[in-house]
A = this chain, B = another copy of it.
Amino acid sequence: MRKVYFDHAATTQPDRRVVEAMLPYLEETFGNPSSIHDYGSAAKEAIEKARARVASLINAARPEEIYFTSSGAEADNFALKGIALGNQQKGKHIVTSQIEHHAVMHSAQTMEKWGFQVTYVPVDKYGVVDPADVARAITPQTTLVSIMHANSEVGTIQPIAEIARITRERGVLLHTDAVATVGIIPVDVKELGVDLLSLSGHAFYGPKGAGALYVHKGVRIVPFIDGGVQEGGRRAGTENVPAIVGLGVAAEIAKAEVPGRGAQLTPLRDRLARGLLERIDRVYLNGHPTQRLPSHVNVCVEYIEGESILLFLNMQGVAASSGSACTSRALKASHVLTAMGVDPALAQGSLLFSLGRGNTQEDVDYVLEVLPPIVERLRQMSPLYAARKDS
């Protein structure tokens, strides 16, 4: 049976070069980077090299603007809580959107419990934040705006540079969760104009266990993980040296390959989207028609549940998801789709195919071949579908 991995939004297979670079740091070069001896220096050197590589990938001016974390989620928590708490003498108001990743959204909700105000700006039917809404939401008490670069479920890319012009003008900091874009499409912190940016290694052929937060020099942020003096005193805990080394190599590879990744993925994405719409009745494509990631095809299939389709697809060797992996076991309608105005019943039938560099046209054609009979079979079992035919 053919195996098709169409769940790159959940995680990617680390590049062989990434794994090979990590191996020495798993065993021989095992020192603690904070130690004052050769074992420590070798580890320290390795993480500083990785820091420079990550800085270079996103065009940060200085390697020391990169703070390694254990994940994109930790980077998001660090950004929201670190900025809000570090700047509360100015005010206690945050602006974010209704379609953020839960790491941002739930951090914002925690801040509300701590006495902060949060405004969640809406999105249009394509999942796009209107910069004018952000501008209207900013008050003199606002310290931070956090809007994701691209939505990891529907792939819609946000007008971050436009939002940055507003936040700069209003003297407010701008964070973007770029976990879905860094290493996939070009990301340049200067062009975007952001003050903080979260990224995650395993999203772009790097290892799990290493993410980073970019913090523009001079930005006031308090540590999220308190403790030792690692990461300039801003993130405690012994550094995960092998994973950081792997993230650095993934960044270097991405820098070379990202310009070509869109050209490889876009035709596959479009072939898949077109094929689904042609071959399956009552299927709706989610997200913006053009301002979208080259990797994502998100559809709603009416009358059936996404999870059931996934189980049948899995039996045919196809790995996909119903949205965010971080909520997939929660079995709730996606907050992203409902914010876009998708009917909650329809949103239950959401399917996300996220393509990656190993995928081929044959993979796409295989999915287009196996999916329609699965949908047909599930619809035959669906009382909703039966009700529709009767009506």
Q: Contact residues of A with B, CB < 8 Å?
A: 5, 7, 10-14, 16, 19, 22, 26-27, 30-32, 34-40, 70-74, 76-77, 101-103, 106-107, 109-110, 114, 200, 202, 207-210, 222-223, 225-230, 236-243, 307, 310-311, 313-314, 318-322, 324-330
Q: Is the CB of B328 within 8 A of A226?
A: no
Question: Given the known A-B contacts A209-B209, A228-B103, are A34 and B329 also in contact in the complex, defined by CB atoms under 8 Å?
Answer: yes
Q: Is the CB of B26 within 8 A of A320?
A: no
Name the one of B35, B36, B307, B325 contacting A32, with C-beta atoms under 8 angstroms.
B325
Name the one of B32, B73, B226, B311 contacting A110, with C-beta atoms under 8 angstroms.
B226
Determine the chain B residues whose CB is within 8 A of the CB of A326 once the complex forms.
34, 227-230, 236, 238
Task: Select from chain B the residue with minimum beta-carbon distance to A318.
Answer: B37
Question: Given the known A-B contacts A70-B240, A106-B226, A209-B240, are A31 and B11 also in contact in the complex, defined by CB atoms under 8 Å?
Answer: yes
Q: Is the CB of B226 within 8 A of A322?
A: no
Q: How far is the CB of A220 from chain B (nearest CB, A)?
A: 14
Question: Given the known A-B contacts A236-B103, A326-B236, are A225 and B73 also in contact in the complex, defined by CB atoms under 8 Å?
Answer: yes
Q: Is the CB of A226 within 8 A of B37?
A: no
Q: Is the CB of A330 within 8 A of B208?
A: no
Name the one of B26, B109, B222, B226 contacting A102, with C-beta atoms under 8 angstroms.
B226
Q: Is the CB of B207 within 8 A of A26?
A: yes
Determine the chain B residues whose CB is within 8 A of the CB of A330 once the complex forms.
229
Q: How far is the CB of A82 from chain B (nearest CB, A)?
A: 11
Q: Is the CB of A207 within 8 A of B242?
A: yes
Q: Which 4 A-B pairs have the closest CB atoms?
A: A228-B326, A70-B70, A209-B240, A103-B227
Determine the chain B residues whose CB is within 8 A of the CB of A200 once the complex forms.
238
Task: Select from chain B the residue with minimum beta-carbon distance to A43.
Answer: B11
Q: Is the CB of B73 within 8 A of A7?
A: no
Q: Is the CB of B36 within 8 A of A13?
A: no
Question: Given the known A-B contacts A34-B329, A70-B240, A208-B242, are A227 and B14 also in contact in the complex, defined by CB atoms under 8 Å?
Answer: no
Q: Is the CB of B7 within 8 A of A30?
A: no
Q: Is the CB of B328 within 8 A of A35?
A: yes
Task: Select from chain B the residue with minimum beta-carbon distance to A317.
Answer: B38
Q: Is the CB of A240 within 8 A of B238?
A: no
Q: Is the CB of B319 within 8 A of A38?
A: yes
Determine the chain B residues whose CB is within 8 A of the CB of A73 once the complex forms.
225-228, 236-238
Give Cα distance in the complex from A226 to B102, angstroms. Answer: 7
Q: How far is the CB of A27 from chain B (nearest CB, A)?
A: 5
Determine the chain B residues whose CB is within 8 A of the CB of A27 once the complex forms.
13-14, 16, 19
Give Cα distance in the complex from A259 to B240, angstroms. Answer: 29
Determine the chain B residues whose CB is within 8 A of the CB of A320 once the complex forms.
37
Name the one of B223, B229, B314, B322 contacting A38, with C-beta atoms under 8 angstroms.
B314
Q: Is the CB of B207 within 8 A of A76?
A: no
Q: Is the CB of B238 within 8 A of A71?
A: yes
Q: Is the CB of B26 within 8 A of A310?
A: no
Q: Is the CB of B30 within 8 A of A325?
A: no
